[in-house]
């Protein structure tokens, strides 16, 4: 009986643990195209990270996460214009009856 309870508990725990998968590597990314002048004179403002997440319940989503929203969030703290060497991850922090679906971006911010 104890073995069966442990197996059920392990199954429930495994179902509640999320995952993260790399879905894209981008040379350059921006929510809006920077002007030629900005692209030519931009300097590195460090590395940034951003997220865009949406909630779901019983498989019904409340919108889809947006990569451009995650990029904008990564650039906003340093007033960046674009990012280079961007990695995009699809992140699912929670599984079960409800959870989140997120896009997480990491890259060097220029502006």
Tens of pLDDT along 49-73?
Answer: 999 999 999 888 899 999 999 999 9
Q: How far apart are CA 70 and CA 30, in angstroms?
A: 10
pLDDT digits (tens, 9 = 90+) for 64-103: 999 999 999 999 999 999 999 999 999 988 777 888 899 9
Residue identified by tokens 């995009």 is 88
Which of 110, 27, 24, 98 shows the shortest CA–CA distance to 67?
Answer: 24
Most distant CA pair in the chain, distance: 71
Please state the domain extents for the chain: 17-110
Instruction: Measure CA of the first residue to CA of the last residue in the chain; give whole Å.
Output: 62
Residue 14 has pLDDT above 60, yes or no: no
pLDDT for residue 58? 87
């Amino acid at each position: 009986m104890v073995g069966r309870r442990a197996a059920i508990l392990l199954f429930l725990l495994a179902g509640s643990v999320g995952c993260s998968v790399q879905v894209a590597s981008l040379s350059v990314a921006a929510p809006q195209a920077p002007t030629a002048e900005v692209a030519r004179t931009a300097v590195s403002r460090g590395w940034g990270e951003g997220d865009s997440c949406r909630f779901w319940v019983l498989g019904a989503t409340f919108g889809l996460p947006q990569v451009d929203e995650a990029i904008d969030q990564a650039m906003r703290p340093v007033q960046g214009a674009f990012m280079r060497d961007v990695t995009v991850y699809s992140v699912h922090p929670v599984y079960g009856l409800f959870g989140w679906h997120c896009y997480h971006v990491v890259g060097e911010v220029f502006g």
